[in-house]
Amino acid sequence: ALKEAQTALVEAEAQRLLATAARNGSEPHLIVAQYPGWQSEQVKQLALILRGFPGTVTVLTGGAAPQLFVARSEDVSIDAGQLVRALVAAAGGKGGGRGDYAQGAFPDWERAAQALALAADVVADARN
């Protein structure tokens, strides 16, 4: 029952993020959010759900120790692994992954917040 409730929470949050994502007419749509109270598995699940929606790049942090989760939909050419490496390098963390999904870790929440603040610029650079 608890796992079902957690799954429902993650799915509801995915819908909320999609509904409020900045729809400025340019692709990809960037979703950036922080979940310090969530388990890392829940944040990963959220990133993977959002990956299923066209035209999205998702950058999330969460977990007991601050972790970074980056996912992009199939129709977006940005490399999630490169995005993670750029974000963690700028904030003293480490990480990597493949083209559509990657993750990393930070020494503390302050550095995780710094990485999230850089996400829009890093995605814009990757798009060009």
For residue 39, the enclosing domain spans 2-127
For the whole prediction, is pTM greater than 0.85?
yes
What is the number of structural domains in the chain? 1
pLDDT at 20 over 90: no
Alpha carbon distance 37, 86 (integer Å): 25
Residue 23 burial by Cβ neighbours in a 10 Å radius (0-12, 13-18, 19+): exposed
The model's pLDDT over 45-67, given as tens digits with 9 standing for 90+, comes to 999 999 999 999 999 999 999 99
Contact criterion met (CB below 8 Å) for 102 and 80: yes
CATH of the domain at 15: 3.10.310.40
